[in-house]
């Protein structure tokens, strides 16, 4: 069995995030692993020809980043994940998770899934996208 020394936990800003973090914490404690919790903010793109758009986009994006940071850090505090690292990134969720997993030599990605239809019924759209092309194992946590 492979040891999971570095675990990446990808969460959204939802009530289910702590459930996913709790599962990852359980695994990390069993393997004495390092945990990195990330949330990816998708870039805000508004296509208007008004001069205010660039600052408006930046304001929305900054607000989303700030909200995500507060949410993830509060969840980490609630679960006593003092030694875990917290990152809020901006970009394509799939690409940022893959990039972080490669650059930090992650052994495992833990991600929640609550798919609704089609292939997403099995995994969820984000979990399915992350699974394909990932450089390491992926654990999907079923969220009901």
Domain boundaries, the chain: 6-142
Instruction: Give the pLDDT score at 120.
Output: 42
| Rounded-to-integer distance, Cα 38 and Cα 91, Å | 12
Here the tokens at position 98 are 């893959």
Q: Is the pLDDT of residue 121 over 50?
A: no
Q: Is the pLDDT of residue 50 over 70?
A: no
Q: Which residues of 21-43 are buried (b: 16+ CB within 10 A; e: fewer)?
A: bebbbebbeebebbbbbbbbbee
Average pLDDT of 90-99? 93
23-49 pLDDT, tens per residue?
A: 999 999 999 999 999 999 988 776 665
> What is the chain's percent helix, strand, coil content, to nearest 5?
45, 20, 35
Instruction: Give the pLDDT score at 47.
Output: 63
Q: Is the pLDDT of residue 54 over 70?
A: no
Kindly indicate the confidence band of residue 142, based on its pLDDT and cuts at 50, 70 and 90. Answer: confident
Which CATH number describes the domain made up of 6-142? 3.40.50.620
Instruction: Give the pLDDT score at 59.
Output: 81
Interacting residues of 129 by C-beta distance below 8 A, sequence separation 6+: 93, 94
Average pLDDT, the chain: 85
Average pLDDT of 97-108? 96
């Amino acid at each position: 069995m492979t040891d999971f020394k570095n675990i990446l936990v990808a969460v959204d800003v939802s009530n289910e995030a702590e459930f996913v973090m709790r599962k990852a914490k359980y695994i990390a404690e069993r393997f004495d692993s390092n945990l990195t919790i990330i949330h990816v903010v998708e870039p805000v793109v508004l296509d208007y020809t008004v001069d205010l758009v660039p600052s408006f986009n930046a304001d929305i994006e900054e607000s989303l980043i700030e909200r995500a940071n507060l949410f993830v850090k509060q969840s980490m505090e609630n679960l006593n994940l003092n030694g875990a690292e917290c990152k809020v990134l901006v970009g394509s969720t799939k690409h940022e998770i893959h990039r972080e997993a490669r650059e930090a030599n992650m052994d495992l990605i833990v991600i929640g899934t609550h798919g609704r239809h089609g292939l997403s019924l099995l995994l969820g759209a984000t979990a399915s996208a992350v699974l394909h092309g990932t450089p390491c194992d992926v654990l999907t946590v079923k969220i009901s």
